[in-house]
Structure 1
Amino acid sequence: MKRGIRMMNAQMVKEEISFKSDVSLKGTLLIPDQGKETYPAMVFLPGSGKLNRDGSTPKGKFKFDLYKDLAELCTSLGFVTFRYDKRGVGESEGDFHSAGLSDALNDAEAALDMLAAHPKVEPSKLIIIGHSEGCMVGTALNTRRPASGLVLLSGGGETLKEALDHQRQLLYKEMREKKGIQGFIIKKLNTLDKAEKQAQGTYKKMVESDKDVMKTLGFIKMPAKYFREHFALNIEEALTKVACPVLAINGTKDFQANPEKLKRIEQFVQGECEIHVVENMDHGLKEQLTPMSPSTYKKDYLKTIGKPIHPEAVKHLTSWLQRYL
């Protein structure tokens, strides 16, 4: 493990960390500067796609900085926080497209090992905090390495396949309600049934494949290992092995995660759980006052860049973490 240390401000110290899974990964550690020998710690597990340690796309216009903002909030409350670039993203080595759930779990476990060995961390107080796909990874990680706390943001209790199916059905619903010539063409050509048949066919090919990456339609690269391993995850079984306190937060304007799946947390986890569904909060924990559309969500997300995390989400997370301390 390599470190580069510098002071951020009067309340926290920043370390640039290089740590080893089966590839070399890099991330950012924030340490409270509150005069204590050790602190409880949190590892951040990101959502799907090419997201870096800050929760942004390394190249492009989606500079959300969600994980950076969350980490700074949690560190200000007295927690060491660690967030890292996924393999094949940012400064981390490895191939993004060939990585599966098993790789994400190995990387997250290596991050926990690094945290537990850090001189400023209390190793008996490690919290896993996952966002979106990170909720699935974090829940599965807890079965390998039981945490002392589990925070699930925008995706608790849900599998990747359930989330994708939910998103497609919402999109189909929107398409069926189209009027005029567009609506006529959709109905006349049976477009949505064909799209669903194609989606299920692609799933089947990836599940039956033994390749890490495969091509569909002759040229589109699909991360077969990623889907295959995620589709095999039994989230209910993983939840039954959660004995630590759990905080789960979803938003009413989040079409990417189904808040109905949060009921599984109450049903299956063994420890105490706290669940919140925040009004007018989207998948990126930002306030959305306009209707969200599955066909135009990227434009809606771009409007939230630079905005703070929804104050209700901040309130619930802060209250839970302060009780933990």
Structure 2
Amino acid sequence: MLLQDELRAISCASFETPSDNSGMCRPCGDRRLVNSLGRSIAILAAWIPWVAGCAGSEGSVREEIQVHSGGNTLGGVLELPPGPGPHPTIVIVPGSGPATREFPMYAELARHWVSRGFAVLRYDKRGTGASTGDWTRETFRERADDVLALTAHLRGRKDIRADGVGLCGHSQGGWIAPLAASSRPDELAFLVILAGAAVTPAEQDLSSTRHRLLRSGFDDASAEEAVALKRALHALVRQGKVEEAEVARLLEGASRNAWYPQVFPPDLKVDALCSLMRYLGLIMDHAPRPVLERISCPVLAVFGEADPFVDLSENAGPMEESLRRGSRDVTILRVPGAGHRLEPAGTNSSGFAAGALEALDAWLDARVKR
């Protein structure tokens, strides 16, 4: 859970590729308000499965797919390498906010892995792209069930190896993919976690707030003031007392601080924040460590050493400890100079930090036959 990302998501209906190095969506210029918050996008009356194929790059094939899950229809694109298969397959599980298949990092990973003989599935979260539903009303359990519906579809295809389907969860997807893997331990061949956290979303929100302010040059006192505000907002959620008057009072007292624009978008409306807080109530206390302990497949967890959102010292050790309780094959990879998208930190690059892809390839090559 990256609160800045969720805040942007509820204040604008359209998003474009970020120009900063956060890796998160940002609102486009028309500033149209999201009208899907608080009500679901219309659900299809009946699911009509269909597949439309088209030629991909360098002989690969791209197929549009639709899969039914929890009364919704999930849209995605499956890219297959040349040849009849069956192919091992990676399902990319997206992060927070209104993530779609077209997020640049996921598209780049797909191109790379397809070139190395994997099929790759990217999909749109509920209420985004070609998917119906509403991600702002979706629990982590429901997100994991969506992933399992997609993997079940893949495992039933003749061109996909049923014993070679794995997950790659990024950011918030680093909570979702393990939840799916722990639910069906015999059905998934491997798990890759990119920039995932071993603490609850609420704890990660506080940690991210603190570390981002410190990295931006604010002192400890300023960081603690911001964290105290976040704690107060979290308390309202847990108490079921998310009321605009009280939230406005808290923000009014904090908005004069120099750190405030670093924590909340300057044009944020109180009603939008309250809507977000109600959504966070669905996910903020998810405990990942018991989930990680139930995973038995091979696991690779990758951390960027310069990630401003997921602190390496607070997450790598606990994640490894929990994973080793269930899996005999656990690898923790620390990428020097890499940010939250594993990009070279401090750049606008859509690529990956030196050594990141090579390390991912080496791990997959040692465990997955093509």
TM-score by length of 1: 0.81
Find the counterpart in structure 2 of residue 207 from structure 1: 238
Query: What is the deviation of 1:16?
Result: 0.7
Matches within 5 A, 1:94-243: 94-146=133-185, 147-173=188-214, 177=218, 194-209=225-240, 216-217=247-248, 218-220=270-272, 221-224=274-277, 226-243=279-296
Aligned mates of 2:340, 2:214 — CA distance in 1 = 19
Aligned mates of 1:35, 1:309 — CA distance in 2 = 30
Find the counterpart in structure 2 of residue 53 from structure 1: 101
Find the counterpart in structure 1 of residue 74 from structure 2: 25
Aligned mates of 2:237, 2:137 — CA distance in 1 = 13
Query: What is the deviation of 1:224?
Result: 4.3
Aligned mates of 1:108, 1:79 — CA distance in 2 = 18
Query: What is the deviation of 1:118?
Result: 2.0
Find the counterpart in structure 1 of residue 261 from structure 2: none
Does 1:12 find its partner at 2:60?
yes
Matched residue SS, 1:248: strand
Pick aligned residue for 2:319 from 265, 284, 298: 265
Letter of the 2:101 partner, please give it: R
Encode CA deviations 1:46-80: one digit per residue, 9 max, x unaligned.
Answer: 1112221122xxxxxxxxx1101101211222222
Say whether the 8 Å CA contact 1:140–1:238 is kept in structure 2: yes
Say whether the 8 Å CA contact 1:7–1:14 is kept in structure 2: yes
Aligned mates of 1:313, 1:150 — CA distance in 2 = 16
Q: CA RMSD in A?
A: 2.4
Letter of the 1:167 partner, please give it: S
Find the counterpart in structure 2 of residue 312 from structure 1: 355
Quick one: structure 1 residues 7 and 177, their matched pair in 2 at CA, closer, same or farther if it must change by over 3 Å? closer
Query: What is the deviation of 1:192?
Result: 5.4
Say whether the 8 Å CA contact 1:27–1:83 is kept in structure 2: yes
Report the more deviating stretch, 25-34 or 215-224.
Answer: 215-224
Matches within 5 A, 1:252-291: 252-260=305-313, 261-269=315-323, 270-288=327-345, 290=346
Quick one: structure 1 residues 175 and 250, their matched pair in 2 at CA, closer, same or farther if it must change by over 3 Å? closer
Report the more deviating stretch, 248-257 or 99-108.
Answer: 99-108
Say whether the 8 Å CA contact 1:149–1:245 is kept in structure 2: yes
Quick one: structure 1 residues 225 and 20, their matched pair in 2 at CA, closer, same or farther if it must change by over 3 Å? farther
Letter of the 1:279 partner, please give it: P
Aligned mates of 1:108, 1:20 — CA distance in 2 = 11
Find the counterpart in structure 2 of residue 82 from structure 1: 121
Identity of aligned residues (%): 23
Query: What is the deviation of 1:175?
Result: 7.0
Find the counterpart in structure 2 of residue 293 from structure 1: none
Find the counterpart in structure 2 of residue 182 from structure 1: none
Quick one: structure 1 residues 91 and 174, their matched pair in 2 at CA, closer, same or farther if it must change by over 3 Å? same
Report the more deviating stretch, 67-76 or 88-97.
Answer: 88-97
Encode CA deviations 1:257-310: one digit per residue, 9 max, x unaligned.
Answer: 12221212331222211111111111112112x4xxxxxxxxx5xx22xx4222
Aligned mates of 2:243, 2:360 — CA distance in 1 = 40
The alignment of Structure 1 onto Structure 2 pairs a total of residues equal to 289
Runs of 5+ in structure 2 lacking a partner?
Answer: 1-48, 249-269
Encode CA deviations 1:128-181: one digit per residue, 9 max, x unaligned.
Answer: 110011011111111212222010111253432232111111244357746xxx
TM-score by length of 2: 0.72
Matched residue SS, 2:144: helix
Aligned mates of 2:237, 2:289 — CA distance in 1 = 23
Find the counterpart in structure 1 of residue 300 from structure 2: 247
Runs of 5+ in structure 1 lacking a partner?
Answer: 56-64, 179-185, 291-299
Pick aligned residue for 2:109 from 67, 70, 81: 70
